[in-house]
Amino acid sequence: MSSPSRHALRWAGGVFAAWIVLLGGAFWYFVLQPRQWFDPQMVQPPALEAPAAQLELLAVLQEVLPPQDPTRPLLLRLRQQSCRCERFVEPYHRQLTERVRKQIQVVTLELDELAPALRVQIARWIPATPSVLVFNSHQQATYFGPYHQDGICSADNSFLEPVLDALLNGEELSVFNTLVFGCFCPLPEHQTSPY
């Protein structure tokens, strides 16, 4: 076989291999990873927007969370170990925790480890994970929703960065960010839990 023929054969093989890799990546991205609306029911305003609902959820969470300092803000990560989408936020969550832990309490709640009855209670307000709840020092919800829109989470695409900056600057705000499409895992109990 002549050298130009071998070169053409290698080039065609490379193009075919690249096509297979791209096809596999597209299949993984669009089919294998769970992509859905953060709140498939698209309830607006979200249930947690009501101050009474926030107090009710806090009371439920205090049954399972370690004791907190009520005078300091709290960033609560809601996590399901079984959710494949967690890998997209894990590195960012570690980096964020290092940055804010002196000013903000950071706690992770492993939803898979809770009793079924407690999961049903929490699913009244939390439709999916990965998600975050931020409470200010007055125990009012400052942010609720996902970390980011889609892909690998970073400081550049995180919904949390402007909220935390405002919170640490003493600003009062309330952001309920539930109309987001991306890689999320619903809480199984959410499908049947009433708002």
pLDDT, tens digit, for every residue of 119-178?
988 988 999 999 999 999 888 899 999 998 777 777 777 888 889 999 988 888 889 989
Same domain for 61 and 18: no
Write down the pLDDT at residue 155: 75
CATH number for 81 = 3.40.30.10
Q: Does 110 lie in the same domain as 130?
A: yes
**One domain, residues 69 and 159:** yes
Decide: residue 122, CB within 10 A, 0-12 exposed, 13-18 middle, 19+ buried.
buried
Count Cα neighbours of 16 within 13 Å in the Cβ-side half-sphere: 6
Give percent of the chain with pLDDT exceeding 90: 32
∠ CA 134-112-191, nearest 5°, is 80
Q: Are 130 and 79 in contact (CB under 8 A)?
A: yes
| Cross-strand pairs, 183 | 35
For tokens 């076989």, the residue is 1
Does residue 1 register a pLDDT over 70? no
Nearest Cα neighbor of 111 from 194, 186, 192, 191 is 186
Q: pLDDT at position 194, please?
A: 39
Count of CB atoms within 10 A of residue 114's CB? 15
Q: Are residues 8 and 59 in the same domain?
A: no
My answer on whether 126 and 186 are in the same domain is: yes
Judged against a pLDDT cut of 80, whether residue 71 lies above it is answered with: yes
Is 103 found in the same domain as 9?
no
Is the domain of 9 the same as that of 67? no
Single-letter residue type at 99: R
Cα separation, 21 vs 148, in Å, equals 26
**Contact between 4 and 55 (Cβ < 8 Å):** no
**36 CB-contact burial (10 Å; exposed 0-12 / middle 13-18 / buried 19+):** middle
Question: Which of the pair, 112 or 6, is modelled with greater confidence?
Answer: 112
Domain assignment of residue 12, given as a range: 1-32
Please state the domain count of the chain.
2
- pLDDT exceeds cutoff 60 at 26: no
58 and 18 within one domain: no
- 14 and 93 inside one domain: no
The percent of residues above 70 in pLDDT, for the chain, comes to 84
pTM: 0.77
At 146, list the tokens.
């996902």
Is residue 117 scored above 70 in pLDDT?
yes
Helix, coil or strand: residue 85: helix
Q: Is the pLDDT of residue 30 over 60?
A: no
Supply the pLDDT for residue 152.
Answer: 75
- Identify whether residues 111 and 145 lie together within a single domain: yes
Neighbours of 87 (CB within 10 A): 12
* 58 and 109 share one domain: yes
Domain shared by 28 and 92, yes or no: no
The pLDDT, as a whole number, for residue 5 is 73
Quote the pLDDT of residue 16.
67
